[in-house]
């Protein structure tokens, strides 16, 4: 079982006349309100429930969490007690933390450099906050294709998780561990769409824990792994406590015991189960909607233009040392901003803070314009990226070069001193004789 936790930094209304004048982009009120509401309704009670389940089942219940970097930062700011809950979970040894991109971004599809950077940052944050080394990678919205697989494999992960999309799997079952096309020893697991969506989308229509585990127990014995994944706020947020969602989850370990099923973390799966076959995924897939592709993020002209605009400054930005600018850039990469511009379901997107997809676009582009101006102040526009790179290198390395030269100089001086000292030993008494005179002058 895997739960996703992510909240973007929602942007405030940013008018065109703020461009170049106001460099703060976030709607603090909305961010705090939404995060706290969800934390108290869902995240905290749900993580306490998980802890209870682990303890009650004698550590037989296992779970995996994936928390985006931007969400973690918001928790630190507004609701640090949730991070303590996660720490407790991790301490039981039954909870795996998966790694994703820091911003919950689309960089995997657009900008390989930035992707690498973001994953490394996120890895570092996880190890700093929870002293945990992630072995499993979960991309934004479970987006995956072979290229992403290769990139992730190169970053040293043991396995990747994606969606059990029908049009990719075809006759194959999602309930096995597969291998990525790039590297055979990196595992690939597909989410069981049906079992996951039964909970996250259709729970309201009634679902019984015994029956649910029965479905898994009754399936062919060779099918070993059932990956059930959803957003964490499905528990308590989308389905309030009164819907019985908490009791449903609490009953799962009991029925698993009864039906002889075991829980495992993804890391255990990579360890213990050898891949049955290589899975090839040409076009990117995701867990989103009915189409299971990336069209919710990159489906129309507005989205593509916004993505182009923000990633066009990426290379230059990574050269900058301006931490605040880099931080703003990372926050702006959250995939949610692009999802708010979707027109798949008409002009308004559910859960969007904007009235329409084009309002979202306007706001976002105004902010990107401001980012461009700030970046220009950092580096003059006339200098090309290619030129800039060696220049910056020179500047950055200047320090080192100076240090090295200084060291040399010191060495040389020392040598010189030694030589002088050796040569002037007989005359060494002279300065000592002059001392009283010097003292007089000071007075």
Partner 1 sequence: MFGWEWPPHILGGLGPASYGIVRGVVNTGECDVTFVLPKPQGDEIKDFVHIIGASNTPVVWKDVDWDYVQKRQGHVMDPQEYYDLRNCIYADFSNLYTNDLGCIEFSGKYPKNLLEEINNYSIVAGVIARKELQHDGFDVIHAHDWLTYPAGIHAKQVTGKPLVIHVHATQFDRTRGMCDANDPTFKIELDGMNNADQIQCVSELTRQTVINHYHQDPAKCIAMHNAVEPMSKEVLDMEAKRGTDEKVITFLGRITAQKGCEYFVEAASRCLQKAPNARVVMAGNGDLMEQMIHLVAQKGLADRFHFTGFLRGKQVYEMFKVSDVYVMPSVSEPFGISPLEAMQCGVPSIISKQSGCGEILDYCFKCDYWDIDAMADAMYALITYPELHKFMQEMGRNEVNQITWEKVGRRVVDAYKRLLGWS
Q: How far is the CB of 33 from partner 1 (least distance, A)?
A: 22
The nearest distance, CB 43 to partner 1, in angstroms, is 34
Query: Does 343 interact with partner 1 (rule: CB under 8 A)?
Result: yes
The sheet with strand 136-138 has its strands ordered as: 136-138, 159-163, 187-191, 177-180, 278-279
User: Total binding residues for partner 1 by CB under 8 A?
Assistant: 22
In this complex, which beta carbon is closest to partner 1, that of residue 266 or of residue 353? 353
When the beta carbons of 88 and 359 are compared against partner 1, the nearer one is 359
**Binding residue for partner 1 (CB under 8 A) from 105, 129, 136, 362?**
362
In DSSP terms, 66 is beta-bridged to 4, 98
Tell me which of 22, 185, 223, 301 binds partner 1, using CB under 8 A.
301
Residue 27 interacts with partner 1 (CB under 8 A)? no
C-alpha radius of gyration, the chain, whole number: 28
Note whether 288 and 357 are within 8 A (CB): no
Rounded least distance, CB 300 to partner 1, Å:
7
Q: Is 345 in the site for partner 1 (CB under 8 A)?
A: no
Residue 295 in tokens: 């069209």
State the CB neighbour count (10 A cutoff) for residue 319.
Answer: 16
Stated as kind and residue range, the H or E segment containing 115 is helix 112-130
The least CB distance from residue 226 to partner 1, in Å, is 41
Per-residue mark of binding to partner 1, 229-258 (x: CB under 8 A): ------------------------------
Nearest distance from C-beta of residue 17 to partner 1, angstroms = 6
- Is 366 a residue that touches partner 1 (CB under 8 A)? yes
Give the tokens for residue 275. Answer: 């891949």
In this structure, what token pair is assigned to residue 439? 């003292």
Burial class from Cβ neighbours inside 10 Å (0-12, 13-18, 19+) for residue 395 reads: exposed
Give CA–CA dist 388/426, Å, rounded.
57
105 or 366: whose CB is closer to partner 1? 366
Three-class SS state of 152? helix
Rounded Cα–Cα distance for residues 109 and 106 (Å): 6
Residue 11 binds partner 1, judged by CB under 8 A: no
Indicate the residue among 162 and 296 with the shorter CB distance to partner 1. Answer: 296
Q: How far is the CB of 348 from partner 1 (least distance, A)?
A: 8
Give yes or no for a contact between 115 and 101, defined as CB atoms under 8 angstroms apart: yes
Tell me whether strands 177-180 and 187-191 are parallel, antiparallel or unpaired.
Answer: antiparallel
295 binds partner 1 (CB under 8 A): no
Is 300 near partner 1 (CB under 8 A)? yes
346 counts as binding partner 1 under rule CB under 8 A? yes
The answer to whether the beta carbons of residues 331 and 73 sit under 8 Å apart is no
361 binding partner 1? (CB under 8 A): yes
Q: How far apart are CA 441 and CA 443, in angstroms?
A: 5
> What per-residue string of b and e applies to 332-361 under the rule 16 or more CB within 10 Å gives b?
bbbbbbbbbbbbeeeeebeebbbebbebbb
CB of 366 to partner 1, least distance (A): 7
The one segment of 40-48, 147-155, 173-181, 358-366 that binds partner 1 by CB under 8 A: 358-366
Could you tell me the two tokens for 177?
């561990």
CB of 362 to partner 1, least distance (A): 4
- Cβ atoms of 65 and 257 closer than 8 Å: no
302 lines the binding site for partner 1 (CB under 8 A): yes
Please list every residue from 369 through 408 that binds partner 1, using CB under 8 A.
369
Nearer to partner 1, 133 or 355 (CB): 355
Our finding on whether 22 is near partner 1 (CB under 8 A) is no
Task: Give yes or no for residue 305 binding partner 1 (CB under 8 A).
Answer: yes
* Residue 24 vs 358, nearer CB to partner 1: 358
Q: Which is nearer to partner 1, 68 or 296 (CB)?
A: 296
What torsion do the CA atoms of 79, 81, 84, 85 make, to the nearest 10 degrees?
-100
- Residue 347 within binding range of partner 1, rule CB under 8 A: yes
By CB under 8 A, residue 358 contacts partner 1: yes
- Asked if 356 touches partner 1 (CB under 8 A), the answer is yes
Q: Applying CB under 8 A, does 355 fall inside the site for partner 1? A: yes
Helix segments in 138-243, DSSP class H: 146-154, 166-169, 193-200, 209-217
**Residue 359 interacts with partner 1 (CB under 8 A)?**
yes
Using CB under 8 A as the criterion, which residues of the chain lie in contact with partner 1 when the complex forms? 15-17, 19, 300-302, 304-305, 343, 346-348, 355-356, 358-359, 361-362, 365-366, 369
């Amino acid at each position: 079982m895997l739960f996703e936790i992510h909240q973007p930094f929602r942007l405030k209304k940013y008018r065109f006349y703020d461009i170049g004048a106001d460099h703060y982009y976030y709607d603090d009120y909305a961010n705090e309100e939404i995060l706290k509401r969800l934390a108290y309704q869902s995240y905290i009670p749900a993580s306490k429930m998980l802890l209870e389940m682990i303890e009650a089942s004698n550590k037989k219940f296992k779970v995996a969490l994936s928390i985006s970097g931007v969400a973690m930062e918001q928790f630190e700011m507004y609701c640090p007690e949730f991070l303590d809950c996660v720490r407790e979970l991790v301490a039981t040894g039954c909870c795996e933390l998966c790694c994703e991109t820091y911003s919950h971004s689309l960089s995997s599809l657009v900008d390989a450099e930035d992707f690498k950077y973001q994953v490394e940052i996120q890895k570092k944050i996880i190890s700093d906050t929870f002293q945990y080394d992630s072995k499993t990678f979960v991309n934004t919205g479970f987006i995956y294709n072979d290229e992403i697989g290769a990139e992730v494999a190169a970053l040293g992960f043991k396995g990747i998780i994606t969606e059990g999309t029908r049009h990719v799997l075809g006759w194959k079952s999602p309930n096995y561990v597969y291998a990525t096309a790039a590297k055979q020893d990196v595992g690939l697991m597909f989410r069981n769409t049906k079992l996951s969506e039964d909970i996250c989308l259709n729970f309201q229509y009634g679902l019984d824990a015994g029956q649910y585990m029965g479905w898994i127990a009754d399936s062919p014995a060779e099918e070993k792994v059932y990956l059930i994944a959803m957003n964490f706020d499905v528990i308590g947020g989308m389905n309030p406590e009164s819907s019985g969602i908490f009791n449903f989850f609490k009953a799962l370990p009991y029925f698993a015991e009864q039906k002889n099923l075991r829980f495992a973390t993804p890391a255990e799966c990579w360890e213990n189960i050898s891949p049955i076959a290589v899975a090839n995924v040409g076009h990117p897939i995701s867990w989103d909607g009915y189409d299971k592709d990336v069209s919710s993020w990159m489906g129309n002209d507005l989205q593509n233009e916004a993505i182009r605009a923000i990633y066009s400054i990426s290379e230059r930005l990574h050269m900058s040392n301006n931490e605040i600018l880099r931080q703003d850039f990372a926050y702006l990469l959250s995939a949610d901003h692009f999802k708010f511009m979707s027109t798949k379901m008409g002009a308004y997107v559910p859960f969007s803070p904007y009235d329409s997809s084009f309002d979202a676009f306007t706001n976002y582009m105004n902010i990107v314009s401001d980012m461009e101006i700030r970046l220009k102040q950092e580096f003059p526009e006339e200098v090309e990226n290619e030129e800039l790179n060696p220049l910056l290198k020179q500047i950055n390395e200047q320090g080192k070069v100076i240090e090295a030269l200084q060291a040399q100089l010191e060495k040389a001086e020392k040598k010189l001193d030694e030589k002088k000292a050796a040569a002037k030993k007989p005359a060494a008494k002279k300065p000592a004789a002059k001392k009283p005179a010097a003292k007089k002058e000071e007075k």
